[in-house]
């Protein structure tokens, strides 16, 4: 555990909350606000859309069904909305009310009638046994406080022979070192907030703390000077997290907390255990899944492929074959290497009866 987290835990009373409450409820946008398939339809004129559509079609290929699908931790509607045109029906659930409201706005904008969103927790699904032909998730299972309980619930609601297809963060591939820390300081009306987030590779985990501080002129000056991250849209008025390094580390590290210790009025935080490829395989098997495949996401190949075509000036000419080309590439999802991938792409089946 890093010194700041140790200090917070050793000196402050932390109210335990979940990631949906502390992080995702407060975001205006959880996904990038121009994300294809969610905020707008895909278009071949954007190279990112070739890559993203390939990922969506790799979900479909790995699902092996176009029936009734459940999306766990859908956020702003990913992957539920981009998958919707290809399946009979899809239900997206999220613990965060704000995310479900946002996803519903996006659904209406895209005009899809076969998608439903509802607030629910992935570890306590309000659905009958075997109610879905397939289950999907986009970096959400590891954001749930009890991911093993979520996997058991997914297994329960899956039809016999159905598959779970999910992307899962792989911190060993994502972080360039053994840990990554970020902070921010901001003012919300007359209150000040310090946010600290950390991810660690061994054991794989992440934690985030939100510390509320009583106002003071020095705090106001520091908050006003905290650098803003361009294009950041978590919530109006917040500057966005900055890596705890260089000047930020000097001004907003442990010395900041020690200096303003007497002004701290409230602390809330969450801690998440993350998976390694091995522990994910074990957890899936313990939940009852078999035929487990853990790969990298197709985006690892798709980005190289489509960027090369773009640089050769060919991508625009291939626009009429946008979907066919993405679909063809998506079939290769089982060949993508896992090594050093920041994201794992997982397929796991419930045995046929």
Residues that bind ligand SAM (CB under 6 A): 18-20, 24, 30-31, 73-75, 78, 93-96, 99, 121-123, 138-140, 143-144
H/E element, 191: strand 191-200
Find the shortest distance in angstroms from Cβ 299 to ligand SAM. 12
Please identify, using beta-carbon distances, which residue of 167 and 187 lies nearer to ligand SAM. Answer: 167
Helix axes 277-286, 147-157, angle to 10 degrees: 50
User: Which residue of this chain has its Cβ atom nearest to ligand SAM in the complex?
Assistant: 75
16, 269 contact by CB (below 8 A): yes
H/E element, 90: strand 89-94
- Secondary-structure percent of the chain, ordered helix, strand, coil, rounded to 5: 40, 25, 35
Find the shortest distance in angstroms from Cβ 90 to ligand SAM. 13
Find the shortest distance in angstroms from Cβ 319 to ligand SAM. 26
Please identify, using beta-carbon distances, which residue of 122 and 253 lies nearer to ligand SAM. Answer: 122
Please identify, using beta-carbon distances, which residue of 122 and 239 lies nearer to ligand SAM. Answer: 122
Find the shortest distance in angstroms from Cβ 334 to ligand SAM. 21
Please identify, using beta-carbon distances, which residue of 31 and 183 lies nearer to ligand SAM. Answer: 31
Distance CA(353)–CA(333), nearest Å, equals 27
Find the shortest distance in angstroms from Cβ 93 to ligand SAM. 6
Please identify, using beta-carbon distances, which residue of 73 and 277 lies nearer to ligand SAM. Answer: 73
Question: Would you list the DSSP string of 31-69?
Answer: S-TT-BTTTB---TTSHHHHHHHHHHHHHHHHH---SEE
Query: Parallel, antiparallel, or unpaired for β 343-349 and 158-169?
Result: antiparallel
CA distances from 4 to 189, 244, 270 (A): 26, 11, 15
Please identify, using beta-carbon distances, which residue of 139 and 233 lies nearer to ligand SAM. Answer: 139
Backbone angles phi, psi at 236, to 5 degrees: -50, 135
Look up tokens 């035929």; give the residue.
291
Find the shortest distance in angstroms from Cβ 29 to ligand SAM. 10
Find the shortest distance in angstroms from Cβ 98 to ligand SAM. 8
């Amino acid at each position: 555990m890093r010194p700041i987290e140790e200090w917070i835990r050793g000196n402050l009373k932390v109210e335990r909350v979940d990631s949906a409450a502390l992080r995702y409820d407060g975001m205006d946008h959880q996904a990038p606000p121009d994300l294809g398939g969610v905020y707008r339809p895909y278009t071949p004129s954007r190279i990112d859309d070739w890559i993203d559509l390939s990922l969506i079609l790799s979900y479909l290929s790995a699902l092996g069904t176009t029936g009734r699908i459940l999306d766990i931790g859908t956020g702003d509607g990913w992957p539920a909305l981009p998958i919707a045109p290809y399946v009979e029906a899809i239900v997206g659930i999220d613990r965060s009310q704000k995310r479900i409201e946002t996803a519903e706005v996006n659904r209406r904008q895209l005009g899809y009638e076969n998608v439903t969103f509802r607030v629910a927790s992935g570890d306590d699904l309000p659905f009958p046994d075997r109610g879905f032909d397939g289950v999907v998730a986009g970096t959400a299972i590891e954001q749930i406080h009890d991911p093993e309980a979520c996997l058991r619930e997914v297994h329960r609601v899956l039809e016999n022979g159905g598959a779970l297809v999910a992307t899962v963060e792989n911190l060993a591939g994502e972080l360039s070192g053994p840990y990554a820390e970020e902070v921010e300081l901001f003012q919300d009306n007359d209150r000040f907030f310090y946010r600290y987030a950390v991810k660690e590779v061994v054991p794989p985990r992440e934690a985030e703390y939100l510390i509320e501080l009583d106002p003071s002129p020095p705090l106001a000056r520091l908050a006003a000077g905290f650098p803003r991250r361009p294009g950041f849209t978590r919530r109006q008025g917040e500057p966005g997290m900055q890596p705890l390094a260089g000047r930020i580390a000097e001004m907003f590290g442990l010395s900041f907390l020690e200096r303003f210790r007497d002004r701290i009025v409230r602390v809330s935080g969450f801690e998440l255990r993350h998976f390694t490829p091995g522990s994910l395989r074990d957890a899936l098997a313990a939940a009852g899944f078999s035929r487990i495949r853990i790969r990298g996401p197709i985006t690892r190949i798709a980005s190289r492929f489509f960027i090369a075509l773009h640089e050769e000036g060919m991508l625009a000419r291939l626009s009429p074959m946008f979907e066919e080309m993405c679909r063809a590439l998506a079939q290769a999802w089982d060949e993508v290497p896992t090594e050093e991938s920041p994201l794992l792409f997982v397929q796991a089946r419930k045995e046929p009866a």
